[in-house]
Amino acid sequence: MKKIFESAALKNMPLKNRLIRSATWVGIANPDGSVPETAYEIYKELAKGGVGAIITGCTSVALHDYYYSGMMRLCDDSLIPQYKKLTDIIHAEGIPVITELALGAYYREVKGRFMRVEPDDMTSDEIQYVIRQFIDAAIRAEKAGFDGVQIHAAHFFFLSRFISPAVNHRTDEYGGSTENRSHILLDIMNGIRKAAPKLHITIKINSSDFTHGGIEEPECLAICQLLDQAGIDSIEVSGNGTAVSGIKPHVNEGYFVPVAAKVAKRVSCPVIVVGGFRSLDVMESVLNQTDIAFISLSRPLLREPDLPNKMKADSTIVSQCVSCNACYSSKDHKCVFRNCDTL
């Protein structure tokens, strides 16, 4: 019988428990991607809070990525010492840390201005350039002391759009079939494996795009099987439009579990699921009624970074997150109820 608070291996990465902090965008980095002191404080608090591993908020592989403001970046070697400081802070608490490598969108320089370009209009050389950006960022992540990297292919960021039939209508080797559209993911994964072989490589993927003509459950399963066959170390299942409101403990938790459970049955690597978890007993029932191996949390840890410690001390405690989503519009994406004694 699996327990949340038992040691477990995320393939080649030992964890003290089965709770993972899912990548959560906090939007506080400087424009060049450098790390502000506030970020060090946030991650130190998370590391002390009792999670088994931390996945940092989306870290762009490009300097000219204007998809979101405040994105951390691993686009230049000069940033490595700042991220080494970050991993040292987290490792000091005995917690492994993975950085989520992302590209919000691809921007082409035209006469000194950067214009957003969608997958259909990219040249083959531009696709290879993006692949190289991910690989180079992974090399920097390894030098900075990260234990792994997560390829962000969810939430309609660039890679999510690239593999979606709703967006990608290319007719070359990177378009058309599921296998062709997934080619970019495999190229990135294989390139990272060759360049930084010690890194754990995971991926976040949509269970569904929830968009007309986009990826739905059958194609999600097919892509996950392709990744597993190619040697991905783990898969985190999420979905487009992840911030579902109105989540109530023991009522409607774990909204991506049905698809994640099917993924876990079809792959040999560990599967992580995120999405609406608020109580320990529901999380453990998911672990024991499916082949899912790990649970990841996002918004609940904005509300209570020490929620894992609280749950370990008292199994009846539920998250105080009310799923209002005000964190997404608040400054620095902080919970607006943080540090309130009662709601």
* Least confident interval from 128-142, 217-231, 252-266, 314-328: 314-328
> 337 burial class (0-12, 13-18, 19+ CB within 10 angstroms)?
middle
Q: What pLDDT was estimated at residue 242?
A: 61
Angular region, 50: left φ>0, alpha ψ -120 to 50, beta rest: left
The CA distance from 24 to 138, in Å, is 19
What's the rounded mean pLDDT across residues 78-96? 98
- Amino acid, single-letter form, for residue 271: V
Task: Give pLDDT, residue 32.
Answer: 87
What does 216-266 look like in DSSP terms, one character per residue? Answer: -HHHHHHHHHHHHHHT-SEEEEE-SS---S---TTTS--TTHHHHHHHHHH
Using 50, 70 and 90 to split pLDDT, how confident is the model at 341?
very low
- The pLDDT tens digits for 277-305 are 999 999 999 999 999 999 999 999 999 99
Of 100, 40, 43, the residue nearest 71 (C-alpha): 100
CA 34 to chain centre: 20
Q: Is a pLDDT exceeding 80 seen at residue 265?
A: yes
pLDDT for 226-252, tens place per residue? 999 999 999 999 998 666 777 888 888
pLDDT, one tens digit per residue, over 34-59 is 999 999 999 999 999 999 999 999 99
CA count, 13 A, side-chain hemisphere, 201: 26
**Residue 339 banded pLDDT, cuts 50, 70, 90:** low
Q: What is the model's pLDDT at position 240?
A: 82
pLDDT at 342 over 50: no
How much is the pLDDT for 142? 98
> For 121-162, how does the pLDDT look when each residue is reduced to its tens digit (9 = 90+)?
999 999 999 999 999 999 999 999 999 999 999 999 999 999
Taking the CA atoms of 221, 227, 233 and 237 in sequence, report the sign of the dihedral they define: negative
**Tell me, what's the pLDDT at 171?**
97
Buried b (16+ CB within 10 A) or exposed e, 77-115: eebbebbeebbebbeebebbbbbbbbbbbbbeeeeeebe
Percent of the chain having pLDDT more than 90?
Answer: 85
Share of the chain above pLDDT 70, in %: 96
Angle ∠(229,230,234) on CA atoms, nearest 5? 80
pLDDT tens-digit series, residues 91-106? 999 999 999 999 999 9
CATH superfamily for domain 8-333: Aldolase class I (3.20.20.70)
What is the pLDDT of the chain when averaged over all its residues? 94
* Listed residue (220, 226, 233) closest to 261, CA to CA: 220
Residues 6+ apart with CB under 8 A from 2: 8, 18, 284, 287, 288, 293
